[in-house]
Amino acid sequence: MISDYLDMLGDAVGDILNPHGPAVAAASTSYAPGDFSIHFFLQLAVILVACRVVGWLGKTLLGQPQVVGEMIAGVVLGPSLLGLFFPDLQAAIFPKETRNVLYTGAQLGVGLYMFLVGITLEIDHFKSKARSAFGVSLAGIVVPFLVAAAITPFLLKVPGLFAPGIAPSSATLFMGACIALTAFPMLARIINERGLARTSLGTLSLTAGAFDDAVSWCVLAVVLATFGAGPGVAVLAIVGGVGYAAFLMLFGRKLLAPLGRVVERTGEMSMTVLAITMTLFCLSAFFMDAIGIHAIFGGFILGAVMPRGLFAEELKKKVEPLAVVLLLPMFFTYSGLNTRMDMVNSGELLLIALGILAASIFAKFGACYAAARIAGEDNRTALGIGALMNSRGLMELIIINIGLQKGIIGPTLFSMLVLMAIVTTVMASPLFELVYGKQARASGELDSLDAKLAPKPA
């Protein structure tokens, strides 16, 4: 029995670098390297302009952080808006054959950003809030799966939502993972832009969100195993992810400390130290991606154990502007290109979509709020945690895109979950400001939001 599992695990490891099928249907014409280059630079320009314009409108008109504008900009550039009204233009700028290149840039952007977020994580805050973080994480996982177990039997009765013949257990696990998911990159951007990065509330929310997302990805690996990928995939993801995180938490700081000492001694970060750091980031992202979790967790976990002080300041100064302004918007646009908002086209389907939305908000916001209160947090802090943890964003779009591509769900349920992802993300910032932010800024606990969101002087 053990030897069988070892054989399956060995097969999963050996399959990591093998091709896994075309991302798009074969075309009658092929693209030369120069064709990909031409499209890539045009796509970057369009993405940057769209993200800046929509982000500015979101800040000015709705008080939303830049990151929410970037998420909406990604949907605007996809088939839901640009492709709906100007299909030829959208297809010319973003042909399907070039999306693999955009996908790679998207993974680099979001992984590098989460690496920087990990560097700003205040470990001491987490240690002091360990009980609250564990309670919030546990509630943010258990309750969504219980809610999924309650609603999935009804969803299975609606034709076209799930794949024909799917096992109820697999459908329930997939829905539980979707509801339990927190938009980890989105949560990090909101926390940074709201001035919460160095607060105990921000650290608690980030830590709980990271754990919830990691569990959701592990559950997805189990579901994919039931769809032909084999149990080796799930074993590799869970054992590899837990083992790697444990290794870094136990030994990472000591092993990486010499990098910090070199920077402190010279007073700046040399190109050699930067190259070593970026190599470690790439290897960490590769490992987590290869075992079936996600590259962003490799970046985040490594960042959490990197040296602090001058090392962290120099690294952020050299890397953050490029990662945030140029690379990260590709992540939002790539997901937006796979999103259609015109699939929920009847009253019955709209009611189902609204039911999924309400159940998801109850399961995440309500459960995390209750867990924080039970753990001893005051009412205002618990409400703030619930508001932040309820954001799902484009991590949700990633997981449901996988479900669609693997044949777990149909296009209609995909669209309903897209709607849930967008609504819960858009509501996160204003709800947080309503229940926590305004009062905290008025009392001086947090800096002025205007100061935080104002452009920095050149």
In 3-state terms, what secondary structure has residue 287?
A: helix
Any long-range contacts for 163-167 (C-beta under 8 Å, 24+ apart)? 163/407, 163/408, 163/409, 163/410, 166/408, 167/226
Between the CA of residue 136 and those of 319, 372, 422, what are the distances in Å?
A: 32, 6, 22
What tokens were used for 52? Answer: 């800046």
Q: What is the chain's pLDDT, residue by residue, as a tens digit (458 residues)? A: 566 656 655 665 666 556 655 555 545 457 778 888 888 999 999 999 999 999 899 888 877 777 778 888 888 898 888 888 898 999 899 988 888 889 889 889 888 988 987 887 666 655 656 666 778 888 989 999 999 999 999 999 988 899 888 889 889 998 998 898 887 767 777 777 777 776 777 877 877 887 787 777 777 777 766 665 567 777 787 888 888 989 998 999 999 999 999 999 999 999 999 999 999 999 999 998 888 777 877 888 899 899 998 999 999 999 999 998 999 899 888 877 877 777 777 778 889 999 999 999 999 999 999 988 887 888 888 898 898 888 887 678 778 877 887 788 888 888 888 889 888 988 888 888 888 877 877 776 666 554 444 444 33
Query: Does a structural domain hold residue 37?
Result: yes
**Are 260 and 308 contacting, i.e. CB atoms less than 8 angstroms apart?**
yes
Query: Does a structural domain hold residue 164?
Result: yes
Q: Could you list the residue range(s) of the whole structural domain that residue 114 is in?
A: 32-445
Query: Does a structural domain hold residue 6?
Result: no
Nearest C-alpha neighbor of 319 from the set 160, 108, 169: 108
Element (H, E) at 135: helix 130-156
What tokens were used for 128? Answer: 């002091």
**CATH number of domain containing 198:** 1.20.1530.20
User: Whose structure tokens read 């990990």?
Assistant: 118
Nearest C-alpha neighbor of 282 from the set 319, 239, 329: 319
Query: Does a structural domain hold residue 8?
Result: no
**Are 194 and 65 contacting, i.e. CB atoms less than 8 angstroms apart?**
yes
**Are 318 and 274 contacting, i.e. CB atoms less than 8 angstroms apart?**
yes
Residues 29, 415: Cα–Cα separation, whole Å: 31
In 3-state terms, what secondary structure has residue 162?
A: strand
Residues 10, 386: Cα–Cα separation, whole Å: 41
Between the CA of residue 210 and those of 214, 234, 252, 310, 421, what are the distances in Å?
A: 6, 19, 18, 26, 17
Query: What confidence tens digit (pLDDT) does each residue in 117-168 have?
Result: 788 766 665 565 666 677 888 898 999 999 999 999 999 998 889 988 888 9
**Are 185 and 106 contacting, i.e. CB atoms less than 8 angstroms apart?**
no
- Based on the structure, what is the number of domains in the chain? 1
Paired residues of 162 in beta bridges: 409
Query: Does a structural domain hold residue 457?
Result: no
Give the number of other CB atoms < 10 A from CB of residue 321. 10
Nearest C-alpha neighbor of 74 from the set 35, 103, 98, 112: 103
Query: Does a structural domain hold residue 27?
Result: no
In 3-state terms, what secondary structure has residue 409?
A: strand
**Are 344 and 419 contacting, i.e. CB atoms less than 8 angstroms apart?**
yes
- Residue 412's contacts (CB-CB under 8 Å, 6 or more residues apart) are 160, 161, 343, 344, 349
Amino acid at 99: R
- Alpha-carbon 33 to chain mean position: 30
Query: Does a structural domain hold residue 43?
Result: yes
pLDDT at 270: 94
Query: Does a structural domain hold residue 458?
Result: no
Between the CA of residue 385 and those of 94, 258, 430, 435, what are the distances in Å?
A: 38, 36, 13, 10
**CA angle, 273 as apex, 271 and 274 as ends, to 5°?**
60
